[in-house]
Each structure stands twice: as structure tokens, then as C-alpha cells.
Structure 1
């Protein structure tokens, strides 16, 4: 009886292990415990005082940032990647993601610029190189989105070679219908799920009439990053402090595990309060109510 029980246990354990291998990796994704800030929120302040701004971001309760605007000429607001990484470390910050242009790849097929961005993102310790925007001329048809998806797969291969992952950040135009589909659905279906992740901007998704939870359920595990950006109650075209607008974040965050959420990144594109007061208020709400 004892031997049979042991055999049964071993058999069941083996079956469970085999099942675990078949389950998508998002099942084991750890929900974020800290909040990040997309530095685009402070685009007006950064160029004049990058060190002071980063210090204030850390003081506001953030532990992560997402970069934007890196260029071969100006680097990270005048700091080379190592100097910028050291500045982040000094303020208790990491940069798991950054927004980098893919204009050269999309227009000419050349990869020199992208390789430079990959090198910079790797140097500051990022996990994701995120595509922030698609210029309007590139996205005039469903076929255009298929071509974009192919380019994203190509970029993802280059990222993988350097230990990075590629992600795509949306606005609202991706949800425009093309026949019985949308640009966003095409990107999700035509990109390699093992190589290309998605950073869902919750504000733009909701503003375009979509339910984030339905997107997560339809494409589980593909949304490791979210932009947590609230919608003003009086004017849906502007942002407000997280928790004071119209977006039901508490319901959306119930789908965090299905989405595969790893990084919750606050972004606010306009302010009615002092920006540093505003970003702290949003950070406090996200940490207390959502994470």
C-alpha cells in the first residue's frame, strides 16, 4: 500500500510537472510591487536639469522609470548611458524599459540606428526596448500593419541577440477597423508571441472604446507592461492624476495575472497641479490601491 501510494505520488507529480511546462509563462508572472514613471511626463523639465528631475522622481516614490528621446547626439539628456545608469542607481531607480524610434528601420530597412538604441538600452540595464509610435504614412491599410509586424519581428531578433525584448506601445489609431479586424489585432497576431510584447496604454485603449480586460483574455501573457494613465472627468482628451479620473483601474488590475503584468508605469501628459505634486499623488494611489 505504501509503495502504491508512492508510485501514485510520483506519477501525479510527474503529470503536474509536465502540465506546468505546457502552461503559458504568464501564469508565473510576478505582479509588480513598485510603480514606474514614463519620463515623458516630465519632458518640459528634463532637458534643463536631468539630475534634479531624476532625484525628484525617486523622492516621489518611484522605483522605476521608462526613458524616451534617446539620440546618438544628445544621449540621455546630455548623459551617456553609463552616467545615466549611475544617476538612476544613486536615486534608487531602474529603467526596465525605454521608448526608442524605429523610423530608420520602417522607412529604409536599415538597422544601424536601432542597433545603437539596443546598445544604449542594454547599457542602462533595460529589459525592454519599446516602440512608441507609428507614423501615419506607414499605416494606411491592413497590409501595412502586416508589413509593420514583420519589421517588429525583425527588430525583436536584433533585440534578442543583445538580451533585450521588444515591446510595442499603442495609441488609439491602432484600433481603427480594417474590414473585420484592426491594426492592433494584426500586430498581435502577426508578431511572434515569444519575441514581441505589448505595452498597453490603458488610457488610449479605453478612449478608443476598448475593454483592456477583453484584450488580456484574448491574448493572455502578452501585456507585461501597462501605461497607467487616467482620463479627466470633464475632458476625455486630457489626463489627470491616477484615481481621480474616469478609468476603472481597480477592475482592470484584477486581470493583471492574465495579462502577464510585470511593470506598471504611470504617465501623465498634462498637469493642472505642480508636476511633482501630481506624480507623487498618482504614485501613492497606485501603490496603496492597485498593486
Structure 2
């Protein structure tokens, strides 16, 4: 069975207005939008939900600040319910916040996610962490942030795995898909251009970079993921990225 495929609308943030993109994305074959703050900020998701429904799209999950999960938990639970989303996904800590971070820092981050997940669970919501490259870079003691985050978070904290950032970190997405099989709830199919590429910040449409998606596709099926997400951090042509990416995934039977 084919996965629902969402489009992370951060990809086309530089081509406003965002709401005008929604009918086009539906036309490309997308099932859903994964928004990031501030796309849904104006009225805590109400108008964004209306725009999605008018375009025939859903919101399965959304990116949100870690500080919001910790300090405005109920507000973001309400936003999730307004959007119709299941997945609440903090995606980042700034370089300043993680400067000199040791294993204990990442364990504390996992514990914060666990508290958010405990509050969200009774509402039918799930919390997942979204990675960049720094979670896969070894700490001085040889351990990795991602392992501390998920171990301390416990089984109620899920993982939105971003394959492109894993490759950029020098790690192997196939190995990480296998390692975290039962923790992966969402898969981002970000692709990386060949090393040394400067255009589009070194990213590529899914299927046009260096990642072997045909080899990874069977591993996707072994995870607990319930949908896929396309993302590109800085495409010069968002329409080309969006259409080519979903076409490649559907061509693989995903």
C-alpha cells in the first residue's frame, strides 16, 4: 500500500504566499502538508486548517519549537488538534543552545520530549524528534546525541528521520533505519547533491542526489512510519523539487 506523502512547506518559504502553493501541491499528488512555525502562527492554526481543507490536503504532523513543547504544552496540543495532526515534531536546537553539549544535555532533551509526549498522549497525539546532522556526530566520549535522546525519551518519544541530514553527517541512513526501526514514525526523504555542490545549498530533489532510495525503500516498510515527507532546505525552483520528488517516490511504489 502506498504511503501518504506530505510536503514540508518550509521548502518553499522563500516563494510566498504559501497558501497559493497548496492547490498546486495537491495537483502534484501530495496528500498532506507538514508546516513549520510561523506558517500556522497567525491564529494558532485555524486559518491554515481552512486553507488545507479548501485545497483537499491534510496535516499529519507539524514542526514546532522545543520550547513550545516544554513551556506552552497545552497551546501546542490545541494547535495539533486544530490542524488535525497526529505528530508534534520539535526539529532543532540552535548552535548556541548546544554549544559544548555533553551526553547529559542530550539526555535532558530526551526527558523534555518524554514529558511532552506524556501530556500529548491522552489527546491521541504523538511527539517525535526530527534530526539534523549534529545528532549523529560523536561526542567526546564517543556516544551520539541521537542515542541519548531516544533512550532517555523512552518508547513514547518517536523519531522523524531525515535521511539527507544523516548522509551530510557522514552516517548511513540504511543503518539508522535498521537501528531505530520501531521508533521511526515519520520518514523525511531529503536528498543530498554530490559533495562539493554549492547550488541549492548542496541539496537535491528526492531521486536526483546521491541517496539510493530504491535500496532504502524496503527498509521504510520495516519501520513503524505511517507517512513520508519531502523536504529541501533551499530549492531555487520549489515546483520542480516538489513534483520530481513525489514522482520518484511513487515510482518506487512508496
TM-score by length of 1: 0.79
- Give structure 1 stretches of 5+ with no counterpart: 1-30
Please name the residue that 2:205 is paired with.
241
C-alpha deviation, 1:218, in angstroms:
2.3
Contact 1:167 1:198 in 2 (8 A): yes
C-alpha deviation, 1:136, in angstroms:
3.0
CA distance change for structure 1 residues 142 and 37 in 2, over 3 Å: closer, same or farther? Answer: same
Which of 40, 61, 69 is the equivalent residue of 1:76? 40
TM-score by length of 2: 0.90
Which of 163, 166, 169 is the equivalent residue of 2:130? 169
2:59 aligns to what SS in structure 1? strand
C-alpha deviation, 1:133, in angstroms:
0.3
Q: Please, which moves more after superposition, 281-290 or 60-69?
A: 281-290
Which of 182, 202, 223 is the equivalent residue of 1:221? 182
Please name the residue that 1:191 is paired with.
153
CA separation in 2, counterparts of 1:35 and 1:44?
A: 22
Q: Please, which moves more after superposition, 154-163 or 233-242?
A: 233-242
Contact 2:4 2:226 in 1 (8 A): no
Which of 71, 91, 102 is the equivalent residue of 1:132? 91
C-alpha deviation, 1:196, in angstroms:
0.7
Please name the residue that 1:117 is paired with.
76
Greater radius of gyration (CA): 1
Contact 2:8 2:35 in 1 (8 A): yes
Query: RMSD between aligned alpha carbons?
Result: 2.0
CA separation in 2, counterparts of 1:269 and 1:286?
A: 18
CA separation in 2, counterparts of 1:150 and 1:77?
A: 26
Please name the residue that 2:4 is paired with.
34
CA distance change for structure 1 residues 33 and 243 in 2, over 3 Å: closer, same or farther? Answer: same
C-alpha deviation, 1:150, in angstroms:
0.9
Please name the residue that 1:85 is paired with.
49
1:52 maps onto 2:11 in alignment? no
CA separation in 2, counterparts of 1:176 and 1:244?
A: 25
Q: What is the count of residue pairs matched by the alignment?
A: 248
Contact 1:35 1:287 in 2 (8 A): no
Contact 1:50 1:77 in 2 (8 A): no
Please name the residue that 1:43 is paired with.
13
1:181 aligns to what SS in structure 2? coil
Q: Please, which moves more after superposition, 33-42 or 121-130?
A: 33-42
CA separation in 1, counterparts of 2:207 and 2:84?
A: 31
CA separation in 2, counterparts of 1:104 and 1:191?
A: 17
Please name the residue that 1:275 is paired with.
238
C-alpha deviation, 1:257, in angstroms:
2.5
